[in-house]
Amino acid sequence: KMEQLSVAALLGEAIVRVHENASVSSLFE
């Protein structure tokens, strides 16, 4: 279960970063 939690945390962090990058890039367009 620990591995699943760590993987979920990494995926969640990656998704948040992708959304932040998308919002930032859209602001500069």
For the chain, report the end-to-end CA distance as a whole number of angstroms.
Answer: 42
State the Cα angle at 7 between 3 and 9, rounded to 5°: 115
pTM of the model: 0.54
**pLDDT reported for residue 25:** 75
**pLDDT reported for residue 1:** 72
pLDDT tier, 4 (very low <50, low <70, confident <90, very high otherwise): confident
Q: Using CA atoms, how far apart are residues 18 and 2, in angstroms rounded to an integer?
A: 24
Q: What is the DSSP letter of 1?
A: -
- Of 13-17, 18-22, 24-28, the range with the highest mean pLDDT is 13-17
pLDDT at 29: 72
